[in-house]
Amino acid sequence: MSDRLNGRVGFVNRNDPNSGLYIIMLLLLGSQVLGGRQLPPAKQIVTVLGCFVIAVAVHEFMHAFVAMKLGDDTAERQGRVTLNPVSHFEPFGFFGMLMISLGYNFIGWGKPVPVNPSRLRAPGFFNGRRGMVLVALAGPLSNVAMAILVAIPLRMIWDQNAGNPSEVFRVMLWFFWVNALLASFNAIPIPPLDGYRILVGILPAFWTRILAPLERYGFLILILLFFIGNRVGSSSVTNAMISPISELIYRLLP
């Protein structure tokens, strides 16, 4: 296969350190499928996938909305300041959400929101590069807000549904779980996740150059942590990273 075709396909490109990751992800998924995992009920699959679509759409909308409010209209010009899930659709990310809904260990994501840090303007500390802190925080905080919002009625009807949960209760519980997962996972300080953008925005400027190589290899590191980490030791590295935020949110429930 020629280098030109490799670059066009995007799966095997020796000039791209992330080249081949989708093949690796599919191979790792294949190993799980061959493990004979029993699929959850169809109703649960549809519910979890629907929760992901809504939660991711709100997450990406908030990134675009805050960037627009801070003076950068890049996302607005691309039609991203909307709650329409179609505008935030990313094929491989949606495939990941589907795999999670089917009960597999996977990663799902929405279409990244384009932001020009040099156009961000905010009072005081949050200007330019540091303005990305507010833009990056908007996504996970929206998921925290949605988790809290659904936790309130969950607490009110928890006892009545402890033994025989209603369908409404199940949907709310899954919506809480999906938003807690997205908020926690996106807080990990590894590119391209929001936690990394927040970290770079808070640290002094010289750290930007030091951490720059992570931008190139971030997705590869993330894949290794998520998939290989699950197979080393008694708990995964990723779970250890996200557990503090997850547990904080879960405490909202009885």
Phi/psi at 214 (5° precision):
-65, -30
What confidence score (pLDDT) does residue 1 get? 37
- Helices 167-186 & 131-157 angle (0-180, nearest 10): 150
pLDDT tops 90 at residue 240:
no
Residues 161 and 60 reside in one and the same domain: yes
pLDDT in tens, 142-153: 999 999 899 888
Residues 53 and 17 placed together within one structural domain of the fold: no
Mean pLDDT of all residues in 42-46: 94
Which tops the pLDDT comparison, 32 or 176? 176
Instruction: Look at residue 8 and tell me whether its pLDDT is greater than 90.
Output: no
* 118 vs 6, residue with greater confidence: 118
At 11, the pLDDT band (50, 70, 90 cuts) reads: very low
Q: What percent of the chain has pLDDT over 70?
A: 76
Whether residue 141 sits in one domain with residue 54: yes
pLDDT of residue 12: 46
Which residues, 6 or more positions from 150, have their beta carbon under 8 angstroms from its beta carbon?
172, 175, 176, 179
Same domain, 46 and 34: no
Which is more confidently placed, 46 or 20? 46
Residue 17 and residue 122 in one domain = no
Compute the distance between CA of residue 239 and CA of residue 124 in angstroms, rounded to an integer. Answer: 35
Give pLDDT tens digits for 172-182: 999 998 998 89
Instruction: Tell whether 131 and 196 lie within a shared domain.
Output: yes
Which position among 60, 90, 167, 215 bears the catalytic label?
A: 60
Are 52 and 6 in the same domain?
no
In one-letter notation, the amino acid at residue 89 is F
Q: To the nearest whole number, what is the mean pLDDT of the chain?
A: 81
On whether both 56 and 34 belong to a single domain, the answer is no
The number of domains in the chain is 2
pLDDT of residue 2: 33
Describe the chain by its helix, strand, coil percentages, rounded to 5. Answer: 70, 0, 30
Which pLDDT tens digit goes with each residue over 61-73?
Answer: 999 999 999 999 9
Q: What is the pLDDT of residues 99-112, one digit of tens each?
A: 889 887 778 899 99
Q: Among 9-18, 46-55, 181-190, 225-234, where is mean pLDDT lowest?
A: 9-18
70 and 94 belong to one structural domain: yes
- Please name the helix (run of DSSP H) or strand (run of DSSP E) that holds residue 157, with its range, or none: helix 131-157
Active site residue 60: yes
Q: Does 60 share its domain with 8?
A: no
What letter would DSSP give residue 114? P
Please tell me whether residues 176 and 204 are part of one structural domain: yes
Report the share of the chain in percent with pLDDT over 90: 37
Q: What domain range includes position 19?
A: 1-38
Q: Evaluate whether 76 touches 64 at the Cβ level (below 8 Å).
A: yes
Task: Grade residue 183 by pLDDT with cuts at 50, 70 and 90.
Answer: very high
Q: In whole angstroms, give the CA distance from residue 119 to residue 125.
A: 15
pTM assigned to the model? 0.84
Same domain, 77 and 119: yes
Which among 101, 108, 65, 109 has a CA at the least distance from the CA of 83? Answer: 65
CB-based contacts of 170: which residues, under 8 Å, 6+ apart? 44, 47
Instruction: Look at 3 and 251; give whichever has higher pLDDT.
Output: 251
pLDDT value at residue 156: 83
Instruction: Report whether pLDDT(136) > 90.
Output: yes
Backbone angles phi, psi at 95, to 5 degrees: -60, -40
